[in-house]
Amino acid sequence: MTKPITIAIDAMGGEDSPKKIIDGIEIALNNNKEYFFQLYGNSIILKEFLNKKKHLKSYCEVFDSKNSIADDESPLAAAKKGNSTSMWAAIESQLKNDAQITLSAGNTGALLVISRLVLKMLNGVDKPALAGLWPNKNNVNVVLDLGANIECNEKHLTDFCNMGAALYKSLFPEDVAKVGLLNVGSEENKGNEILKKTYSILKENSSNDYIFSGYIEGNEIMNGDMNVIVTDGFTGNIALKTAEGTSRFLTTKLKEVFSNNIIAKLGMLLAYSPLKKFKEKLDPRKYNGAIFLGLNGPVVKSHGSTDALGFSYSIEMCDKIIRGNLINKINKNLNSIDLKRT
Contact 231, 130 (CB under 8 A): no
Q: How confident is the model at residue 250, as a pLDDT?
A: 74
The structure's pTM equals 0.85
- Fold of the CATH domain 126-289: Isopropylmalate Dehydrogenase (3.40.718)
Cα–Cα distance for residue pair 173/170, rounded to 1 Å? 6
**What pLDDT, on the 0 to 100 scale, is given for residue 264?**
63
DSSP assignment string, 73-108:
S-HHHHHHTGGGBHHHHHHHHHHHS--SEEEE-S-H
Which distant-in-sequence residues (6+ apart) come within 8 Å of 18 by Cβ?
A: 11, 12, 39, 41, 42, 45, 46, 49
126-289 and 1-125+294-324 share a CATH fold: yes
Q: Who contacts 123 (Cβ-Cβ below 8 Å, separation ≥6)?
A: none
Question: 91, 122, 129: which is closest to 7 by C-alpha?
Answer: 91
At 338 the pLDDT is 45
Rounded to 5°, angle at Cα 43 from 323 and 29:
35
The count of residues in the chain is: 342
Distance between CA 248 and CA 239 in Å, rounded? 14
Phi, psi of 124 (to 5 degrees): 90, -10
CATH 3.40.640.10 fits 1-125+294-324, yes or no: no
Which segments of the chain have a pLDDT < 70?
1, 206-208, 258, 261, 264-272, 274-282, 332-342
Residue 7 phi/psi, 5-degree rounding, is: -115, 125
pLDDT of res. 285? 85
Q: What's the pLDDT at 263?
A: 72
Domain spans of the chain, in order of start: 1-125+294-324, 126-289
Tens-place pLDDT, residues 306-319: 999 999 999 998 99
The residues facing 39 across adjacent strands are 9, 62
